[in-house]
Amino acid sequence: MLSKTSRALTFVCAVLYFVLGGALFLLPESLAPVFAWKVTAFMTMTIGGWCLGNAWLAFLSARRWEWRLVYSALIYLWLFGIFEIVVLFLFRDKLNISHPIAWLYLSALLVNVVTAFFGILDWLRIRPTREPFGEQLGKFHSVAVILFILFVGFLGFYGITAQSGAVGTNGGIFPEIMSPFTLRSFGVFYFAIALAVTPYLRDKNLHALLHHSIASYGLIFFITLAAFVYLHLFDFAKNPGGLLYFGAYLGVGIPLLSVFWKYRKSLFTS
């Protein structure tokens, strides 16, 4: 199993993301003007949703701390930190770190990267094997995994590669114009989500996927809630692509509730 150091760092990530996410989510109008780069209040609240979701994922995974169950959630957390810090580096000339909230965001990412470093070192040292256990994924689950990876992976790749003015970047899907900095940040977020699920193309353990799903559900919940708070920004008649933004989260979030209910006795057991 991964070391106590990795576990402690994962708990620290949970605390930092909870504090950061809570501030951004609850005070988006006040913190948007002083954030690490130029963002709107809706973007700020959405980023706060990412952070609160990360906090739940990190806490639940560190609390459970059984590699065969939590590994894919940890992969997402590690990739998120690494990808987002790379985006900050690439757009370092656009950074504004004059306010404590910007330093808190930077600190959370740096701790996240350190957590990823120790976690990867542990994995290289231990080389844990993925042995089948418990109930296995059925064909329906496997198809759902493939569709999820393709859809979210496309969103991530598009966000990483699209230029300002491209389809969907000028209010066509997200209701506000995104700067390249914001677009790349959103893109790597989605890409990390997609990559973290790819092990389930081979790994068929249902319990592991259930943990990943419940650990990731905070991301869906808080980001969707932010979208409803700023529902007035969406003009579905003029930009029907906005329905895709809601549909992407609701289309995953609502069916997962039925899955959680069906497997409620297995969600927190191996």
Does the residue 82 lie in any domain?
A: yes
Q: What is the domain extent for residue 110? A: 4-262
**The predicted structure's pLDDT at residue 56:** 98
Does the residue 9 lie in any domain?
A: yes
Does the residue 269 lie in any domain?
A: no
- Quote the number of domains for the chain: 1
Does the residue 33 lie in any domain?
A: yes
Closest by CA position to 53, among listed 216, 188, 253: 216
Does the residue 270 lie in any domain?
A: no
Residues 6+ apart with CB under 8 A from 266: 134, 135, 206, 207, 210
Does the residue 268 lie in any domain?
A: no
Does the residue 267 lie in any domain?
A: no
Does the residue 194 lie in any domain?
A: yes
Alpha carbons 39 and 53: distance in angstroms, whole number: 20
Write out the chain's pLDDT in tens, 270 residues: 678 999 999 999 999 999 999 999 999 999 999 999 999 999 999 999 999 999 999 999 999 999 889 999 999 999 999 999 999 999 999 999 999 999 999 999 999 999 999 999 999 888 776 666 667 778 888 898 999 999 999 989 998 998 877 776 777 778 888 899 999 999 999 999 999 999 999 888 888 999 999 999 999 999 999 999 999 998 888 888 788 888 888 888 888 888 888 887 766 665
CA quadruple 16, 18, 21, 26: dihedral sign: negative
Single pTM value for the model: 0.92
